[in-house]
Structure 1
Amino acid sequence: MNDAELYQKSNTLQKRDAFECLEEYAQKIKWKKDASIIDIGCGDGSVTTGVLKNFLPRCKKVVGCDISEKMVQFANRKYSSHNVSFTVIDIKGDLPDQMRGEFHHAFSFYTLHWIKQQEIAFTNIYNLLDDGGDCLLIFLGHMPLFDVYRILARTNRWSYWLKDVDKFVSPYHDCQDPEKEIRRMMCKIGFVNVEVQYKPKSFVYDSLEAVKKAVKAVNPFKIPEELHEEFLEDYIGIVRDMQLIDKVNNNFENSISIRANYNLIVAYGKK
């Protein structure tokens, strides 16, 4: 997940979901004048500047943060400006003292499902906020991609490379009532006006190659480059076997559209 250029070209699903959630919630957010904004898990910076910034009022500063130094370096080269910057932060680690209580609004798009220490991450988000500040967080619940990872991890071919597979499965993938669990956690931390939605979603890819690129862009496993194509072929094979992908159409021999179904969690809260 350190290839910023590949991620930038293959994160259409993430951008679409970020845009749709911001459209729904922008009217609910009590925007502060000259606000300070943080985008947690900003990746290559394209969602921060290409989606989120379009919904923001006049801002004093926008900070994108990510655990990946390579992503942050890419984002600063491509998208930094007089009031937009990117920095390395591990949201499940220790927060820099100067960032505590610094932000009026916090956002996170497609990041929190990678974190097992959910309460620590949500507590850090709470601590980043100024009093009265709020957050809008979207992340994956149940996603077939995680089941494919688990199956690959049980094969002789990939068991070594995917031995830590459950570290990279959403904490809510197997959860029976994620809305209740997340709401309870956020209220315990101190958030008020908490809203949590569990949304069934689908996304249509226009080719198998597009699926492969999307999977490779977010692949968390340290598989050698020379094995990537074989890994992706095996990934697609399991997807076919499990019938997790519906063919939308097959009008041309080499042209198929593919629908992936998944569940998205949207959480809002105020400090």
Structure 2
Amino acid sequence: MNNAELYQRSNILQKRDALECLEEYGKRIKWKNGRIKILDIGCGDGSVTVDILKKFIPNNCEKLIGCDISENMIQFANEHHASDHTSFMVLDIEEDMPSELRESFDNVFSFYTLQWVKHQEVAFTNIYNLLKKGGECLLAFLGHMPVFDVYRVLSRSTKWKSWLKDAERFISPYHDNQNPEKIVKQMMTSIGFTSVEVECLEKTFIFPDLDALKGLVTSVNPFEIPKDLEEDFLLDYFNVLRDMHVIDHESSNVDGPIKATFNYRLIVAKGRK
């Protein structure tokens, strides 16, 4: 998940959902008057931050900062998307926050990041501490997603289990939960957030072609598969998706025409400090 160029070309699902989330929930944000400072957690290559999020924030934004755990992503983002009012920094939302960042932001956003976080309460507490009093957060992250089932299937196979031995580390904490919105709302409220709204949305995304699907799978694959095994891994990956009826494919040849339909759940959480 460190190939910024590939991710920027392949994150079509993430970009669509970030846009739809901001179109629906962005109008509910009570923006502060005066100069404001905004943080985007898990910004990746920076394209969602500048191409989508930036279009929804008001003109009184003095500073827009994107952060990500990946140094490669941040280097790419700063080289391609930084400007006078926009910058990017390395930050792990599961670690202790630098004192200079506490209570620094009027708004915190995050798209397609928090599903990777195992210590959910730590991350949400950090988000709370990053906000100024009266600040708001808008967070979108995966609940159930077929990709996580693929990880589990492959991690149990003799062929791939040594490479996917930590598969559960990369599965959303809400993947198996039928009522994740209740859990997230209770957690946010216990941390101190007010005006908490949490919804679990049923979503569908159809990949237009094989290259688009391969790009996404490769760009978000958290496992260090050796280069000489990557194509073989993709073949088995797609075979599992076919068994799950995510891929409608006549043959076993991954070079043929496909239709890949992902049905998944996206959790959207909003709260105020």
- What is the TM-score with the length of structure 1 in the denominator? 0.96
1:54 is aligned to 55
Alignment length (residue pairs): 266
Instruction: Indicate the larger mover: 26-35 or 109-118.
Output: 26-35
Give the counterpart letter for 1:108 in structure 2: S
| CA RMSD, 1 decimal | 1.2
Question: What secondary structure, in the 3-state scheme, does the structure 2 residue paired with 1:219 have?
Answer: coil
The superposition leaves residues 45-66 of structure 1 with CA deviations (integer Å, 9 ceiling, x where unpaired) of: 0000010000010210000000
Output the CA distance in 1 between the equivalents of 2:58 and 2:259.
38
In structure 1, stretches of 5+ residues that fail to align are 248-252
Output the CA distance in 2 between the equivalents of 1:255 and 1:221.
27
User: How far off is 1:116 after superposition?
Assistant: 0.6
Output the CA distance in 2 between the equivalents of 1:105 and 1:232.
39
1:28 is aligned to 28
C-alpha contact 2:247 2:258 (8 A) present in aligned 1: no
The percentage of counterpart residues that share the same residue type is 58
The superposition leaves residues 22-74 of structure 1 with CA deviations (integer Å, 9 ceiling, x where unpaired) of: 00112110112321000000000000001000001021000000000000000
- What is the TM-score with the length of structure 2 in the denominator? 0.95
User: How far off is 1:258 after superposition?
Assistant: 2.4
In structure 2, stretches of 5+ residues that fail to align are 250-254
Output the CA distance in 2 between the equivalents of 1:245 and 1:142.
17
Question: What secondary structure, in the 3-state scheme, does the structure 2 residue paired with 1:26 have?
Answer: helix
Matching of residues 216-231 of structure 1 within 5 Å? 216-231=218-233
1:89 is aligned to 91
C-alpha contact 2:11 2:216 (8 A) present in aligned 1: yes
Distance 1:242 1:254, change over 3 A: closer
Output the CA distance in 1 between the equivalents of 2:23 and 2:36.
19
Distance 1:246 1:262, change over 3 A: farther
The superposition leaves residues 201-246 of structure 1 with CA deviations (integer Å, 9 ceiling, x where unpaired) of: 0111111232111111100011112211111110000110121335
Give the counterpart letter for 1:126 in structure 2: Y
Give the counterpart letter for 2:181 in structure 1: E
Question: What secondary structure, in the 3-state scheme, does the structure 2 residue paired with 1:163 have?
Answer: coil
Give the counterpart letter for 1:31 in structure 2: W
2:252 is aligned to none
Instruction: Indicate the larger mover: 140-149 or 238-247.
Output: 238-247
Instruction: Indicate the larger mover: 196-205 or 221-230.
Output: 221-230
Output the CA distance in 2 between the equivalents of 1:94 and 1:27.
31
User: How far off is 1:175 after superposition?
Assistant: 1.1
Output the CA distance in 2 between the equivalents of 1:227 and 1:71.
24
2:158 is aligned to 156
1:189 is aligned to 191
Question: What secondary structure, in the 3-state scheme, does the structure 1 residue paired with 2:39 have?
Answer: strand
After superposing on structure 2, the runs of 4+ consecutive aligned residues of structure 1 that deviate more than 3 Å are 253-257
User: How far off is 1:94 after superposition?
Assistant: 1.0
Give the counterpart letter for 1:52 in structure 2: L
Output the CA distance in 1 between the equivalents of 2:55 and 2:79.
20
Determine whether 1:243 maps to 2:268. Answer: no
